[in-house]
Amino acid sequence: MNPSTFKEELSGRFGWKLGKGEQSSDRLYLNPEPEIFENLIEAIFEEHDGRLATISCVDEEDQFRLLYHFALDGEGFITTVKLPVDKDENPSTESITNLIPGAEWIEREVMEMFGIEFRNHPAKKRLLKAEALDDGDFPYRKDFDVENLEET
């Protein structure tokens, strides 16, 4: 299977809600409708042996974009599922730890560094953020004021 045939297979199941995607010989990017996100993640992980490599986050002008990177090792390519998160007072999305327990620490990092809450996450305690930073300081956000940091 290659990224093109994998996308066709997923399209057969999820239809237009899979969204438009981009692909190359070793990469597939998917932009699904949020209502199928959890089912899509489950299908990639459970049915296609997709290994969650990492979750990254991009701070865009009007929203955050979470990128869930799955390695399909047996097939030799990476699938990235993109999920927009509203950039409001309390940005949040559902945790995937109920499907993929190994996502716990990656989600905790995103919570600390970007301030995105993962609802129903099993452990929301600090993981990486320096003690000198307040709970409301999110150092990976574009609007984080590095100039006013004090050395400790």
Number of domains in the chain: 1
Per-residue model confidence (pLDDT) at position 148: 64
| Distance in angstroms (rounded) separating the CA atoms of residues 110 and 16 | 29
Per-residue model confidence (pLDDT) at position 137: 87
122, part of any domain: yes
Per-residue model confidence (pLDDT) at position 35: 95
80, part of any domain: yes
What is the band of 91 on the pLDDT scale with cuts at 50, 70, 90? very high
pLDDT digits (tens, 9 = 90+) for 103-139: 999 999 999 999 999 999 998 888 888 777 888 888 8
In sequence order, which residues have a C-beta less than 8 Å from that of residue 19 and are 6 or more positions away? 30, 31, 32, 33
Amino acid at 54: T
Of 85 and 61, more confident:
85
Per-residue model confidence (pLDDT) at position 128: 83
Q: What is the CATH number of the domain that holds 68?
A: 3.30.460.80
Question: Three-state DSSP class for 145?
Answer: coil
pLDDT digits (tens, 9 = 90+) for 12-65: 999 999 998 899 889 999 999 999 999 999 999 999 999 999 999 999 989 999
| Distance in angstroms (rounded) separating the CA atoms of residues 139 and 115 | 9
In sequence order, which residues have a C-beta less than 8 Å from that of residue 10 and are 6 or more positions away? 18, 30, 40, 43
Q: Which two tokens stand for residue 101?
A: 């327990």
81, part of any domain: yes
Q: Which domain holds residue 8?
A: 3-138
Residue written as tokens 């097939």?
75
145, part of any domain: no
Of 3 and 132, more confident:
3
Among candidates 144, 54, 71, 62, which has minimal Cα distance to 108? Answer: 54
Region 132-148: mean pLDDT is 82
148, part of any domain: no
119, part of any domain: yes
In sequence order, which residues have a C-beta less than 8 Å from that of residue 70 and are 6 or more positions away? 44, 45, 50, 51, 52, 53, 78, 79, 80, 81
Question: pTM score, two decimals?
Answer: 0.92
147, part of any domain: no
Per-residue model confidence (pLDDT) at position 151: 58
